[in-house]
Amino acid sequence: MANSFRMVYHYNIMIPIVSIVGKSDSGKTTLIEKLITELTCRGWRVATIKHNRHGFEIDLEGKDSWRHRKAGAVTTVLVSSRQVAVMEDVEEDYGLADIRERYIRNADIILAEGYKGNPHPKIEVFRSELRQERLCGPEDNLIALAGDRPVSAGVPCFDRNDATGIADLIESRFLPRKKS
């Protein structure tokens, strides 16, 4: 049993993380949706992590799982024949590596939305019409820019709708083996 846990843990550490960052309304979620579709069509298993700095609730008042948590459960796992959801009280905002180690098992790549301050590779989504400064540069582990116009960024630049090109970059950098 201990050996199988180590194998899962070791595999888990190796799942690459790429953060999709950008200002509010820049198109991060839209790009992630397109990348998920493109990468899964290529045979890759994609996990996502979405950061919400304001917190969230997924449990409905009065439901059994809500009642379990209201009674004091620190972790509640909802299970059906097709889904599992974990609600856990935490003492701190977990970093991406912590989330990967604790929760993500069956994936080839993790796409994270947000987490601009993390050390993992980043693709920034940029909309010139928002007239805002970019968030990242190459020193922030920026690997690409996805925007609405070409800019000088010191990294590859893509149209923000070019999910195929961005997926090619992700695949070549982080998923070098071909799925069969």
Bridging pattern class, strands 109-113 and 17-22: parallel
| 76/65 Cα distance (integer angstroms) | 7
What is the rounded CA–CA span in Å between residue 108 and residue 100? 12
Which residue segments constitute the domains of the chain, with CATH numbers given?
A: 12-56+93-174 (3.40.50.300)
Inter-CA distances, 9 with 16, 87, 100, 111, Å: 14, 21, 10, 19
Determine the Cα–Cα distance for residues 45 and 107; give it in Å rounded to an integer. 5
Per-residue pLDDT tens listing for the chain (180 residues): 444 443 344 444 489 999 999 988 899 999 999 999 999 999 999 999 987 665 566 777 888 888 888 888 888 888 888 888 888 888 888 889 899 998 898 899 999 998 888 899 999 998 877 766 778 877 889 999 999 877 777 899 999 999 999 999 999 999 977 555
